[in-house]
Chains A and B, each alone.
Chain A
Amino acid sequence: MSVADPIELTRDPSIDTSIDIESTTTVAIMAEYDDVTAAAHAAAAVRNAGFKHFDLHSPFPIHHVEKYVGIRMTILPWIVLCGGLTGLCTATFLTHYTMAGEYPGLSNFSGYQFLISGKPFLSTPAYIPIMFELTILFSAFAAVFGMLFLNGLPMHFNPLLRNHRFKRVTDDRFFVVIETSDPKYDEAAVLKLLRDTHPLALERVED
């Protein structure tokens, strides 16, 4: 049997998720590619031309694409380190205070010295599992929410998401997008630059 037997894409053009407004403005120029190498080289060309407000969009992370697009190392690991230290401090305080620090004046928030099997109230080794788990938990929160924060997500108001052609960015196409907000932006020059990279298509992204 035919192995690929492609399922017809059923993107219904009548599903119009765009906002109806009278006049639209161009916010970006978009070039489409179907090849990783071509897209990466196009991004490098845009970068070498001095543009700052541009990006390469791809369905999957491309290895070593950072040096083509010019991406610096993220500060995320430092955020995660802070998260981990916060977790460690929280757990250290929580366990030691609640097990050994009894201040009846604080009513609901007083610790509670409960003698069990003659064990010391301040028994740090017994609290290590809690300290470990909370360190991991807070670090993981920092990693996920830090990534979302740095990436500006969630962001549902993106003109790119209303572009029909751009829907294949999550499937098998690669896009280089230059925003009109770039200080070096000049439509004729941008179109020429992108045309020279032999894209499958060039399109204005309207908002």
Chain B
Amino acid sequence: MATISTGPLIGSVDEIDNTYDDPRERAPLVVNGRSFGEVTRIVTSSHERPMPMAWVVCLTFSLALLTMLLVTLGMLFSTGVGVWGNTNRVSWGWPIVNFVFWVGIGHAGTLISAILFLFRQNWRTSINRFSEAMTIFAVICAAMYPGIHVGRPWLAYWLFPIPNQMGMWPQFRSPLEWDVFAVGTYFTVSLMFWYVGMVPDLATMRDRSRSKLEYYFYAFISLGWTGSSRAWHRYERMYLLLCALSTPLVLSVHSVVSFDFATAQLPGWHTTIFPPYFVAGAIFGGFAMVLTLAIPCRKWLGLQDLITMRHIDNMCKIMLATGMIVSYAYAVEFFMAWYSASKAEQFTFTNRPFGPYWPFFWSMVWCNVVAPQFLWVKYCRQNLWIVMTVAMFANIGMWFERFVIICTSLHRSQLPSSWGMFHPTLVDICMFAGTFGLFLTGFLLFLRFLPIIAMAEVKSIMPQAHIHDHGHETDPHHTSGATSHEPSGDAAKESKPWRGGNW
């Protein structure tokens, strides 16, 4: 297992600037003139080398949090939902806030895998694998909450259409039941996408295994992959189809989550802007979490040549764009409340910034509206400390946003006689912290035991991955002045540090 080591494992210490936009040549996505073999070694090093001290510390901390989650779940099951701060008035409280928060984070993975694939954004290849892993663990955290929020979790299987002696079925006209299908489908498809995308890289780990146990484990889960071109052909077709299927899926999931609110009569919820607003928020929060995880990982695991400054830069730009959409949605909500001429609606939107929950509202505005504005400046996008800080603000801000939507709308609705406040209990707080333990434990074990970057996909976008035919073929992409042997390794470093070739 892991032992203590200090300093960068491999990879350069200096950051290489590949964020320029020169229309004459594409900026490289793998820097330092790496060869295929070097990409393999960089990616598998997190499995084959001792893990850095930071990983050991993080895993210990995560396991402690995970234990806390299990303890609080035990308290919940043995006592009942009264251990939470939920009341008659604010009946959804933290469990649903946390559900929406986690399922939102789970959106970036499939977005990067599917939508960026359809848009031919090759930079996705370095970050898609671990953002998919992030999706899986985030959706597990999310799916837990509705399951335990039903009050009698041992009857949670009633959510599924199973024939029974009572002749009862789930209510398919209810948005909550749509949620079961949307989140369930999303988790299943994301899991398949993640696993099947990993099969060629698991084969790499099989072929590099150092013990019999390792060999059998990776051989079993890599399904006997041999990299046959016929297999690759069907595999790529399947990948394209999965992307085309996942794209509407990922947009539908948070839309359906928003229907939970939008179909209700409650002021502050009953609005048609929710589906696009929630989807933009999910992408914003999801990319913030990807950055939060990617920046330390690339440093500690020496992935700077694969997750380059250009990747960080692009993610920052997406965060900025989606952050602006979210800000716009906030503004539209206020406008519509005023324009609706509904007293209850107007009151709700006065109550948010100036009512008892004003710190939550203004924290949300600071984190989601003001903080991302720093990303307009290239200097800020290049400074990892600033990027990390902005991403952290976005993570926190998105949680506040869900709290503001759920709790401030519920606690003062149309009937003033039933107004009340929501106070989280210690169990609420510890359980939410505990879900980070579940999330991080899964993610850290993934870093150790599975291929953390899609090696095959990264290799396929490297300049030397293309067939060069000296103009014999009629393919316009690969014939214009291409040479048959791209400089690689040391030769490439001497002549052209990273700009080389035509791809």
| Contact residues in A for B234 (Cβ distance below 8 Å) | 74, 76, 147, 150-151
Taking a contact as CB atoms under 8 Å apart, the answer to whether B32 and A3 are in contact is yes
Please tell me which stretch of A7-15, A18-26, A180-188, A195-203 contacts chain B, meaning at least 4 of its Cβ atoms lie within 8 angstroms of it.
Answer: A7-15
Interface membership of B209, Cβ < 8 A: yes
- In the complex the two chains form, what is the Cα distance from A126 to B177 in whole Å? 11
Taking a contact as CB atoms under 8 Å apart, the answer to whether B40 and A158 are in contact is no
Taking a contact as CB atoms under 8 Å apart, the answer to whether A147 and B235 are in contact is yes
Interface membership of B120, Cβ < 8 A: no
Interface membership of A127, Cβ < 8 A: yes
CB distance from B214 to the nearest CB of A (A): 9
How many chain B residues sit at the interface, stated as a range, is 35 or more
Q: Do A59 and B188 contact each other (CB < 8 Å), given the known contacts A168-B207, A169-B226?
A: no
Q: Do A130 and B224 contact each other (CB < 8 Å), given the known contacts A108-B165, A171-B40?
A: no
Taking a contact as CB atoms under 8 Å apart, the answer to whether A156 and B219 are in contact is yes
- In the complex the two chains form, what is the Cα distance from A207 to B193 in whole Å? 34
Q: Do A116 and B182 contact each other (CB < 8 Å), given the known contacts A108-B167, A153-B224?
A: no
Q: Choose from A56, A141, A153 the contact partner of B225 (Cβ within 8 Å).
A: A153
How many chain A residues sit at the interface, stated as a range, is 35 or more
| Contact residues in B for A206 (Cβ distance below 8 Å) | none
Q: Choose from A4, A61, A62, A76 the contact partner of B241 (Cβ within 8 Å).
A: A76
Taking a contact as CB atoms under 8 Å apart, the answer to whether B163 and A15 are in contact is no
- In the complex the two chains form, what is the Cα distance from A111 to B188 in whole Å? 27
| Contact residues in A for B200 (Cβ distance below 8 Å) | 59-60, 170
Please tell me which stretch of B69-77, B286-294, B465-473 contacts chain A, meaning at least 4 of its Cβ atoms lie within 8 angstroms of it.
Answer: B465-473
Interface membership of A48, Cβ < 8 A: no
Interface membership of B230, Cβ < 8 A: yes
- In the complex the two chains form, what is the Cα distance from A17 to B206 in whole Å? 12
Taking a contact as CB atoms under 8 Å apart, the answer to whether B460 and A80 are in contact is no
Interface membership of A189, Cβ < 8 A: no
Taking a contact as CB atoms under 8 Å apart, the answer to whether B204 and A146 are in contact is no
A-B contacts counted at CB < 8 A amount to 264
Q: Choose from B10, B13, B41, B456 the contact partner of A59 (Cβ within 8 Å).
A: B456
Taking a contact as CB atoms under 8 Å apart, the answer to whether A161 and B224 are in contact is yes
| Contact residues in A for B32 (Cβ distance below 8 Å) | 3
- In the complex the two chains form, what is the Cα distance from A9 to B38 in whole Å? 11
Q: Choose from A109, A133, A151 the contact partner of B235 (Cβ within 8 Å).
A: A151
Interface membership of A36, Cβ < 8 A: yes
Q: Choose from B12, B201, B245, B455 the contact partner of A136 (Cβ within 8 Å).
A: B245
Q: Do A60 and B465 contact each other (CB < 8 Å), given the known contacts A144-B196, A168-B207?
A: yes
| Contact residues in B for A123 (Cβ distance below 8 Å) | 173
Which A127-160 residues sit within 8 Å CB-CB of chain B? 127, 129-130, 132-134, 136-137, 139-141, 143-144, 146-148, 150-151, 153-158, 160
Q: Choose from B171, B220, B467 the contact partner of A62 (Cβ within 8 Å).
A: B467
CB distance from B234 to the nearest CB of A (A): 5
Nearest A residue to B482, CB-CB: A37
| Contact residues in A for B478 (Cβ distance below 8 Å) | 64
Interface membership of B481, Cβ < 8 A: no
Taking a contact as CB atoms under 8 Å apart, the answer to whether A107 and B165 are in contact is yes
| Contact residues in A for B248 (Cβ distance below 8 Å) | 132, 136
Taking a contact as CB atoms under 8 Å apart, the answer to whether B226 and A161 are in contact is yes
Nearest B residue to A154, CB-CB: B223
Taking a contact as CB atoms under 8 Å apart, the answer to whether B189 and A12 are in contact is no
| Contact residues in A for B152 (Cβ distance below 8 Å) | none
Taking a contact as CB atoms under 8 Å apart, the answer to whether B228 and A55 are in contact is yes
| Contact residues in A for B469 (Cβ distance below 8 Å) | 37
Interface membership of A63, Cβ < 8 A: yes
CB distance from A66 to the nearest CB of B (A): 6
Q: Choose from B12, B169, B464, B467 the contact partner of A111 (Cβ within 8 Å).
A: B169
Interface membership of B24, Cβ < 8 A: no
| Contact residues in A for B173 (Cβ distance below 8 Å) | 99, 116, 119, 123, 126-127
Contact code string B205-227 (vs A, CB < 8 Å = 1, else 0): 01111111001000110011111
CB distance from A15 to the nearest CB of B (A): 6
Taking a contact as CB atoms under 8 Å apart, the answer to whether B227 and A169 are in contact is yes
Instruction: Report which A residues bind B (CB closer than 8 A).
Output: 1, 3-7, 9-12, 15, 17, 35-37, 40, 43, 55-66, 68-69, 71, 74, 76-77, 80, 94-95, 98-99, 104, 107-112, 114, 116, 119, 123, 126-127, 129-130, 132-134, 136-137, 139-141, 143-144, 146-148, 150-151, 153-158, 160-161, 166-172
Given contacts A7-B49, A60-B36, A112-B167, 18 further A-B contacts (CB under 8 A): A1-B13, A60-B456, A62-B229, A65-B232, A74-B234, A76-B234, A80-B245, A94-B161, A99-B169, A99-B173, A127-B172, A133-B184, A136-B249, A151-B228, A151-B230, A156-B224, A160-B226, A170-B225
A-B contact pairs, 9 of them (CB 8 A): A3-B305, A36-B466, A61-B456, A64-B475, A66-B229, A99-B171, A133-B182, A148-B223, A167-B208
